[in-house]
Amino acid sequence: MKVTAITLLILQLNSLIDSGKYNSIEISDVHKAIKRKSLLRYLKEECKNDIDLSGHLGKTYGDFETYFENAIHQIYGGYAGEERRKWGVQNLGLCLVLAWTNELIQQAFLDADLPK
C-alpha cells in the first residue's frame, strides 16, 4: 500500500465532507459501489471536479485502484451493517468511506513490525 496515495485520499474525503455538498451520498450508495468494486469511480462520478483521483485511478500509485477496491470490499464483507457500532457512522456515506479508508491504514500497521 502506498501511504501517500491513501493519506491523499483521506484528505480529499475530508474536504468533501467539510463542504457539505455531498451529504446526500448515503451509506447504501457506498455499499452498492463497494459491492461492484467501483467505489473510487463512483466517488469521481458523484463529486466530479471536487475530487482528484487521477493518480488513484491511473498508474501514479501503481495499481492502487485494484488494491483499494479489494481491501474495502473485504471490510464490507466483514462489517457491513455494523458501521454505527464499530465506527460511530450512521448518517453520511462519505464518513463511512473515510472511516473504512482509515481502517486500511490501521490494518497495514498491524502487519508492520513497529517498535512498541
Which alpha helices (H) appear in the chain, and where do they start and end?
Answer: 3-19, 27-35, 39-47, 54-57, 64-79, 83-87, 93-111
In a domain, 116, yes or no: no
Structure-block grid coordinates of residue 90: 450512521
pLDDT at residue 110, as a whole number: 74
Give the CATH number for residue 100: 1.20.120.600
**113: Cβ contacts below 8 Å, ≥ 6 apart:** none
- Given a cut of 60, whether residue 116 has pLDDT beyond it is no
Model confidence pLDDT, tens digit, residues 66-105: 999 999 999 999 999 999 999 999 999 999 999 999 999 9
Neighbours of 79 (CB within 10 A): 16
Model confidence pLDDT, tens digit, residues 38-75: 999 999 999 999 999 999 999 889 899 999 999 999 99
In a domain, 68, yes or no: yes
In a domain, 27, yes or no: yes
Measured in whole angstroms, how far is the alpha carbon of residue 63 from the centre of its chain? Answer: 15
Find the domain containing 97 and state its range.
Answer: 3-111
**20: Cβ contacts below 8 Å, ≥ 6 apart:** none
In a domain, 70, yes or no: yes
pTM above 0.95, yes or no: no
Domain count, the chain: 1
pLDDT at residue 97, as a whole number: 98
- Given a cut of 70, whether residue 115 has pLDDT beyond it is no
Structure-block grid coordinates of residue 56: 488513484
